[in-house]
Amino acid sequence: MANQPDEATRRIRRILRVNHAGEHGAVSIYQAQLRRLKANDEVSGWLNETLDHERRHRTAFLEAMPQRGVKPCRALVIWKSGGSLLGWLSSAFGSVGVLVCTQAVEETVHRHLLEQISFLDRADPELADVVRDILKEEVDHLVYARDRLPQRSLILRMARTLVSVATEALIAISTRGDSFRLRHDLKTAA
Distance of CA 35 to the CA centre of its chain: 20
Give this prediction's pTM: 0.87
The domain in which residue 151 lies consists of: 7-189
Asked whether 72 and 65 are in contact (CB, 8 A), the reply is yes
Q: Does residue 136 sit within a domain?
A: yes
> Residue 164: how many CA atoms within 13 Å on its side-chain side?
17
Residue 190: count of CB within 10 angstroms of its CB: 9
Whether 1 is in a domain gets the answer no
Does residue 176 lie in a domain region? yes
Over the stretch 128-166, which tens digit does the pLDDT of each residue have? 999 999 999 999 999 999 999 877 778 888 888 888 887
* 127 contacts 16 by C-beta, under 8 angstroms: yes
Q: In this structure, what CATH number is given to the domain that contains residue 56?
A: 1.20.1260.10
Any domain includes 74: yes
Any domain includes 86: yes
Q: State which amino acid sits at residue 14.
A: R
Does the residue 41 lie in any domain? yes
Q: Give how many domains the chain has, as a whole number.
A: 1
Domain membership of residue 2 (yes or no) is no
